[in-house]
């Protein structure tokens, strides 16, 4: 597409983006937007993709192998608005010569802030305290009421010490947590030394050792139910789980059962396996903090994500390799 002028490039955005991002897209391309912000139906999504050069989807849009088989020949670029691409069959896109990009890096700090907020909120029972006030259950200070757990000195096990995981580790160290992590391979030794992080090749062994688990790895076929019932049962009864990544990484039914049975200390979840509906047992548990997938929901991150989408489209339109191209198997 290097011979196509940017102003003639048809770009279709599937969800409402910040006004400043939409204005910039409209100034640069022949851009079509979704003014209602309602997710497109599968048929409407396919029709939109068949009639555009560039599709800018979000995580709610499922672009599977059947989608790419039916999309036709016009679509050349999927410029995803988001870092995760588990909703896109990247290999199927590549077979159709369709490039896929994402928006990495810009979410790390905001996502890490939310992970740290949950790491603090669950052991210190912050949401329970708010509810007590709202329900009139607070009758004055007591030395034994609403006791939580101290965070300083606890062992934090981070699953996936990438950009977000490292940002979580830096925040956690400031609160006096001891950093442990599990990756497919150890991180750079200099970064590991800076974070004073201990690498565990065995996830099972790390889970049995730590007090708090932070899930920061991407969702892939290899990480689906990575925290299975068997692995959850390795955790100590006082342990807490925090997840701001993807709900499918945890067996949510097993997690809900164990919390209901008092076999875990609690959980802080920003994502769910059957999003947007969390397991009813989690909704009923007092020691669980549930958030509506808002870890990256800051004005700054959404605008930066939009800018990354624009950069990827512009580079592609100019005949260059987009900086955030996804390579199948490495996403």
**In this structure, how many other beta carbons lie within 10 angstroms of the beta carbon of residue 297?**
15
Mean pLDDT in residue range 244-253: 97
* CA atoms 217, 221, 222, 226: torsion sign: positive
Please indicate, yes or no, if residue 155 is contained in any of the structural domains: yes
User: In angstroms, what CA-CA distances link 96 with 68, 235, 254, 301?
Assistant: 7, 44, 39, 31
Query: Distance between CA 79 and CA 316 in Å, rounded?
Result: 10
Asked whether residue 78 falls in the same domain as residue 162, the answer is no
Asked whether residue 49 falls in the same domain as residue 179, the answer is no
Confidence label for 4 from pLDDT (cuts 50, 70 and 90): low
Q: Which domain holds residue 273?
A: 108-290
Whether 316 and 1 have beta carbons less than 8 Å apart is answered as yes
Mean pLDDT in residue range 151-180: 98
Mean pLDDT in residue range 168-178: 98
Please indicate, yes or no, if residue 55 is contained in any of the structural domains: yes
- Please determine, for residue 330, whether its predicted confidence score (pLDDT) is greater than 70: no
Query: Distance between CA 181 and CA 58 in Å, rounded?
Result: 29
The DSSP H or E segment spanning 201 is: none
Q: In the chain, how many domains are there?
A: 2
Cβ burial, residue 181 (10 Å; 0-12/13-18/19+): buried
Q: How would you classify the pairing of strands 266-269 and 288-290? A: parallel
Of 241, 253, 237, 275, give the one whose Cα is nearest residue 84.
275
N-terminal to C-terminal alpha carbon distance within the chain: 24
Asked whether residue 168 falls in the same domain as residue 97, the answer is no
Q: Which residues are catalytic?
A: 246, 275, 293
Please indicate, yes or no, if residue 326 is contained in any of the structural domains: no
**In this structure, how many other beta carbons lie within 10 angstroms of the beta carbon of residue 316?**
24
Asked whether residue 218 falls in the same domain as residue 149, the answer is yes
Mean pLDDT in residue range 252-265: 98
pLDDT attached to residue 329: 61
Query: Distance between CA 120 and CA 199 in Å, rounded?
Result: 23
Asked whether residue 116 falls in the same domain as residue 212, the answer is yes
Tokens of 302: 């959404």
Sheet holding 77-79: strands in order across? 30-32, 10-13, 54-56, 77-79, 99-101
Please indicate, yes or no, if residue 135 is contained in any of the structural domains: yes
Query: Distance between CA 221 and CA 306 in Å, rounded?
Result: 28
Sorted by sequence, the CB contacts under 8 Å of residue 153 that are 6+ apart come out as 176, 177, 178
Mean pLDDT in residue range 38-45: 96
Query: Residues 273-312: pLDDT tens digits?
Result: 999 999 999 999 999 999 999 999 999 999 999 999 999 9
pLDDT > 70: what percent of the chain? Answer: 97
Query: Distance between CA 24 and CA 28 in Å, rounded?
Result: 6
For the whole model, what pTM was predicted?
Answer: 0.90
Please indicate, yes or no, if residue 311 is contained in any of the structural domains: yes
Asked whether residue 312 falls in the same domain as residue 175, the answer is no
Asked whether residue 63 falls in the same domain as residue 119, the answer is no
The DSSP H or E segment spanning 155 is: strand 155-159
Query: Residues 174-217: pLDDT tens digits?
Result: 999 999 999 999 999 999 999 999 999 999 999 999 999 999 99
Q: Indicate the average pLDDT of the chain.
A: 95
Please indicate, yes or no, if residue 325 is contained in any of the structural domains: no
DSSP 320: S
Asked whether residue 98 falls in the same domain as residue 123, the answer is no
Please indicate, yes or no, if residue 79 is contained in any of the structural domains: yes
Sorted by sequence, the CB contacts under 8 Å of residue 68 that are 6+ apart come out as 89, 92, 93, 95, 96, 98
Asked whether residue 69 falls in the same domain as residue 209, the answer is no
Cβ burial, residue 16 (10 Å; 0-12/13-18/19+): middle
The DSSP H or E segment spanning 68 is: helix 65-70
Mean pLDDT in residue range 101-129: 96
Asked whether residue 59 falls in the same domain as residue 79, the answer is yes
User: In angstroms, what CA-CA distances link 52 with 109, 112, 185, 276?
Assistant: 33, 35, 40, 29
Asked whether residue 235 falls in the same domain as residue 209, the answer is yes
> Looking at residue 251, which CATH number applies to its domain?
3.40.50.720
pLDDT > 90: what percent of the chain? Answer: 94
Confidence label for 6 from pLDDT (cuts 50, 70 and 90): low
Confidence label for 1 from pLDDT (cuts 50, 70 and 90): very low
Asked whether residue 74 falls in the same domain as residue 118, the answer is no
Please indicate, yes or no, if residue 146 is contained in any of the structural domains: yes
Whether 102 and 81 have beta carbons less than 8 Å apart is answered as no
Confidence label for 2 from pLDDT (cuts 50, 70 and 90): very low
Q: What are phi and psi of 137, to 5 degrees?
A: -90, -5
């Amino acid at each position: 597409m290097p011979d196509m002028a940017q102003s003639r490039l048809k770009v279709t955005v599937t969800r409402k983006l910040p006004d400043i991002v939409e204005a910039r897209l409209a100034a640069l391309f022949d851009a079509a937007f979704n003014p209602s912000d309602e997710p497109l139906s599968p048929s409407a999504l396919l029709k939109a993709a068949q009639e555009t050069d560039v599709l800018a989807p979000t995580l709610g849009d499922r672009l599977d192998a059947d989608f790419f088989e039916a999309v036709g020949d016009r679509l050349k670029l999927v410029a995803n608005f988001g870092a995760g691409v588990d909703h896109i069959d990247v290999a199927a896109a590549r077979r159709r010569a369709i490039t896929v990009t994402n928006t990495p890096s810009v979410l790390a700090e905001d996502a890490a802030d939310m992970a740290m907020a949950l790491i603090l909120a669950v052991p210190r029972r912050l949401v329970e305290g708010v509810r007590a006030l709202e329900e009139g259950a607070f009758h004055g200070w007591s030395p034994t009421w609403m006791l939580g757990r101290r965070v300083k000195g606890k062992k934090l096990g981070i699953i996936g010490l990438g950009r977000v995981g490292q940002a979580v580790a830096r925040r956690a160290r400031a609160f006096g947590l001891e950093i442990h992590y599990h990756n497919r391979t150890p991180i750079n030794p200099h970064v590991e030394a800076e974070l004073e992080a201990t690498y565990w090749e065995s996830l099972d062994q790390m889970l049995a050792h730590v007090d708090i688990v932070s899930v920061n790895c991407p969702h892939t076929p290899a990480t689906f139910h990575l925290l299975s019932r068997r692995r959850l049962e390795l955790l100590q009864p006082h342990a807490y789980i925090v997840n701001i990544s993807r709900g499918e990484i945890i067996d949510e039914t097993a997690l809900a059962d164990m919390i209901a049975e008092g076999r875990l200390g609690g959980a802080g979840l920003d994502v769910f396996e059957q999003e947007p509906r969390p397991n009813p047992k989690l909704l009923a548990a007092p020691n669980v903090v549930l958030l509506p997938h808002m870890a990256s929901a800051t004005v700054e991150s959404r605008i930066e994500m939009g800018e990354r989408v624009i950069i990827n489209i512009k580079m592609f339109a100019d005949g260059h390799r987009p900086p955030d191209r996804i390579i199948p198997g490495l996403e």
